[in-house]
């Protein structure tokens, strides 16, 4: 069924609750593990229907935030999602206490029960009102970002469309585009501060209600981190500061030379070459035809997957008025179908999205028939390995999109991946500080951000920008508002993806085989176990970043040597 024809119907809480509780009660009185397992599968089907309708509402709302019907539906799920979660948690409590638990663990796996017990730690019906408030605040932030409109170059643009001009090779056009963005954020500065202040406080109240010192502990539970803690993450960030920040600084210095500047400014952050970044050629339709060729040649599995996505109209990638910014991949369990949302703007980011989000979707496609629903659920740090690694595995086909500028794109993409990790770690450390000190004022939060920028991005120069230069850059990062503590997952995953990059240079086929193994395992193992099985080193392991940086320096030298001589001065 194509996406546009997938029927949507709001899931009535009363009807769902009645059907759910009948099955849950039958589970409690089950006479055997076999009977209880059969009921568990029926409950999973109910939950999959709920999640499919919830995702349909979310996708269609983000496709057009001005559509009042789906805006109301999104409001409904913001309000009622915690009630559905409570039904699931109440059932899980009884399941963990089952007299047949040993047999159930053999059928579902001990890890499923470990994940369930972790979820139970992060939920109590007392925090439902706080969860409801949090959902409304997150939606309000999304709507605010989607409402941005800019009169520029004789056009009316939204934020993703303005980003095209923020990468323009003409520095004065870049400066003007950045100024437009600053004006929007200045206009909404108080609203942004107020939304985040409320989010920090409501999340802190949730944690306190559950007997925790602060939201950091709850945040890790909600991210379902079951084999590493904040201390391990802090050690990872320390490795990044010691070994990767110096390499990132060197890459920024290369960029300064490529651009022919005396000093880099924040308006130069997205630009790598004086003539401008390599941009994909062709229309969106042509880009997808190239994508079809790429995925057909990469493997039988990716060929089958991409054809499924095209036939199901499971892409929406054109930027338009009222559409939310960013990109994401969602999954519709009833239809066993991923969905990819993006905002093409004519930059190389269009291809990054095509490969990144297809990495998510490909993994979901490979595991769509897993019988145990909970085993399909993966941690975000694992999910991002699938997506970021796909960006590298598709590198041999980038000539389809960039032609004679392919070498420039490949260098830019690799350099971007490396300089991203310090930024991502900065986002993570910022959130740890904020939630450990929830009473900081908006100005104090911005001071924290500026201090961290000095550690992770010492080259940065804001040219006295009145918003971003005052420590407001984090307020454009939606994850900080919407998904606390998610961002470090990108850094952990990028570290693993870069290891795949090194492996594929040595033996592409073997690296791809390991990648398929990782994807097909879904959530059947913990994060560090999954990456070990894929032949990767844990990012938490001492020396991981040091070794990865050494391998990257060799790859970067190779990339630089392949660039045209007139590029490198």
Strand partners, 338: 331
Q: Is 278 helix (H, G, I), strand (E, B) or coil?
A: coil
CA distance 278 to 276: 6
Q: Are 49 and 325 in contact (CB under 8 A)?
A: no
Q: Is 318 helix (H, G, I), strand (E, B) or coil?
A: strand
Nearest to 479 by CA among 142, 229, 73: 142
Give just the sign of the alpha carbon dihedral 554, 557, 561, 564: positive
In this prediction the pTM is 0.92
88 Cβ contact partners less than 8 Å away, ≥ 6 residues apart: 47
Domain interval for residue 115: 11-125
CA distance 276 to 170: 8
CA distance 107 to 98: 14
The H-assigned helical ranges of 477-569 are 478-482, 487-506, 508-520, 527-533, 544-562
310 occurs within a structural domain: no
Q: Give a three-class secondary structure readout of 420-469.
A: HHHHHHHHHHHHHHHHHCCCCCHHHHHHHHHHHHHHHCCCCCCCCCCCHH
69 Cβ contact partners less than 8 Å away, ≥ 6 residues apart: none
222 occurs within a structural domain: no
- What are residue 209's phi and psi, to 5 degrees? -60, -30
- What are residue 338's phi and psi, to 5 degrees? -75, 160
Nearest to 89 by CA among 115, 53, 62: 115
What does DSSP assign to residue 243? I
388 occurs within a structural domain: no
The whole-chain average pLDDT of the chain stands at: 95
345 occurs within a structural domain: no
120 occurs within a structural domain: yes
- What are residue 344's phi and psi, to 5 degrees? -60, 140
What proportions of the chain, in percent to the nearest 5, are helix, strand and coil? 70, 5, 25
CA distance 26 to 39: 8
14 Cβ contact partners less than 8 Å away, ≥ 6 residues apart: none
The position carrying tokens 């009169």 is 151
Q: Are 140 and 74 in contact (CB under 8 A)?
A: no
17 occurs within a structural domain: yes
Q: Please give the full DSSP string across 7-21, using - where no structure is assigned.
A: ------HHHHHHHHH
What does DSSP assign to residue 244? I
CA distance 120 to 518: 27
CA distance 164 to 174: 9
In what order do the strands lie in the sheet containing 315-318? 315-318, 337-344, 328-332
29 occurs within a structural domain: yes
What does DSSP assign to residue 150? E
CA distance 407 to 398: 9
pLDDT of residue 567: 54
Q: Per-residue pLDDT tens for 461-495?
A: 999 999 999 999 999 999 999 999 999 999 999 99
**Overall number of domains in the chain:** 1
CA distance 341 to 64: 12
CA distance 157 to 152: 7
pLDDT of residue 16: 98
CA distance 343 to 161: 8
pLDDT of residue 569: 44
Nearest to 147 by CA among 177, 178, 191: 191
Q: Are 539 and 492 in contact (CB under 8 A)?
A: yes
Q: Is 499 helix (H, G, I), strand (E, B) or coil?
A: helix
Token code pair at residue 335: 């239809």
The position carrying tokens 């935030």 is 65
39 occurs within a structural domain: yes
CB atoms within 10 A of CB 202: 19
Q: Are 124 and 210 in contact (CB under 8 A)?
A: yes
pLDDT one digit per residue (tens) for the chain, 569 residues: 899 999 999 999 999 999 999 999 999 999 999 999 999 999 999 999 999 999 999 999 999 999 999 999 999 999 999 999 999 999 999 999 999 999 999 999 999 999 999 999 999 999 999 999 999 999 999 999 999 999 999 999 999 899 999 999 999 999 999 999 999 999 999 999 999 999 999 999 999 999 999 999 999 999 999 999 999 999 999 999 999 999 999 999 999 999 999 999 999 999 999 999 999 999 999 999 999 999 999 999 999 999 999 999 999 999 888 898 888 999 999 999 999 999 998 889 899 989 999 999 999 999 999 999 999 999 999 999 999 999 999 999 999 999 999 999 999 999 999 999 999 999 999 999 999 999 999 999 999 999 999 999 999 999 999 999 999 999 999 999 999 999 999 999 999 999 999 999 999 999 999 999 999 999 999 999 999 999 999 999 999 999 999 999 999 988 888 775 445 44
- The CA distances from residue 126 to 78, 264, 356, in Å, are 17, 50, 38
CA distance 136 to 107: 38
């Amino acid at each position: 069924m194509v996406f546009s024809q997938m029927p949507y119907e709001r899931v009535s809480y009363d009807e769902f609750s009645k059907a759910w509780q009948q099955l849950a009660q039958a589970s409690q009185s089950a006479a055997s593990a076999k009977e209880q397992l059969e009921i568990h599968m029926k409950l999973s089907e109910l939950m999959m229907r709920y999640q499919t309708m919830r995702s349909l509402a979310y996708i269609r709302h983000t496709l057009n935030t001005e559509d009042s019907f789906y805006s109301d539906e999104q409001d409904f799920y913001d309000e009622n999602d915690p009630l559905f979660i409570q039904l699931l948690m109440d059932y899980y409590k009884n399941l963990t206490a089952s007299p047949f638990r040993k047999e159930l663990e053999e059928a579902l796996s001990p890890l499923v029960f470990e994940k369930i017990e972790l979820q139970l730690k992060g939920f109590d019906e007392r925090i439902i009102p706080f969860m409801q408030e949090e959902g409304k605040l997150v939606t309000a932030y999304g709507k605010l970002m989607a409402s941005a409109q800019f009169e520029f170059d004789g056009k009316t643009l939204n934020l993703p469309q303005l980003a095209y001009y923020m990468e323009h090779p003409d520095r004065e056009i870049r400066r003007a585009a950045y100024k437009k963005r600053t004006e929007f954020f200045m206009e909404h500065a108080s609203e942004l501060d107020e939304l985040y202040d409320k989010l920090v406080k409501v999340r802190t109240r949730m944690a306190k209600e559950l007997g925790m010192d602060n939201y950091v502990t709850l945040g890790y539970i909600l991210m379902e981190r079951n084999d590493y803690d904040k201390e391990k993450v802090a050690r990872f960030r320390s490795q990044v500061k010691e070994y990767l920040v110096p390499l990132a600084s060197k890459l920024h210095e290369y960029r300064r030379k490529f651009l022919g500047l005396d000093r880099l400014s924040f308006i130069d952050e997205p630009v790598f070459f004086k003539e401008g970044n390599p941009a994909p050629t062709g229309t969106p339709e042509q880009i997808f035809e190239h994508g079809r060729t790429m995925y057909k040649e990469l493997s039988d599995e990716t060929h089958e997957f991409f054809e499924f996505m095209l036939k199901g109209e499971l892409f929406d990638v054109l930027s338009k008025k009222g559409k939310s910014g960013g990109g994401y991949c969602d999954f519709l369990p009833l239809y066993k179908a991923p969905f990819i949302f993006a905002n093409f703007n004519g930059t190389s980011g269009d291809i990054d999205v095509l490969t990144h989000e297809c990495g998510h979707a490909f993994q979901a496609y490979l595991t769509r028939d897993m019988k145990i629903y909970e085993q399909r659920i993966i941690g975000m740090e694992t999910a991002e390995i699938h997506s970021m690694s796909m960006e590298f595995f598709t590198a041999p086909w980038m000539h389809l999109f960039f032609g004679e500028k392919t070498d420039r794109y490949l260098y830019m993409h690799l350099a971007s991946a490396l300089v991203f990790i310090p930024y991502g770690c900065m986002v993570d450390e910022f959130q740890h500080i904020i939630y450990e000190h929830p009473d900081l004022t908006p100005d104090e939060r911005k001071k924290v951000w500026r201090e961290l920028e000095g550690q992770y991005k010492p080259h940065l120069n804001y040219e006295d920008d009145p918003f971003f230069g005052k420590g407001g850059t984090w307020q454009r990062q939606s994850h900080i508002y919407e998904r606390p503590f998610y961002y470090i997952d990108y850094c952990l995953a990028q570290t693993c993806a870069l290891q795949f990059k090194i492996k594929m240079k040595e033996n592409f086929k073997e690296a791809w085989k390991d990648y398929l193994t990782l994807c097909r395992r879904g959530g059947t193992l913990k994060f560090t176990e999954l990456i070990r099985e894929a032949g990767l080193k844990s990012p938490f392991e001492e020396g991981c970043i040091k070794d990865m940086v050494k391998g990257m320096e060799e790859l970067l030298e190779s990339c630089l040597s392949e660039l045209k001589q007139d590029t490198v001065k």
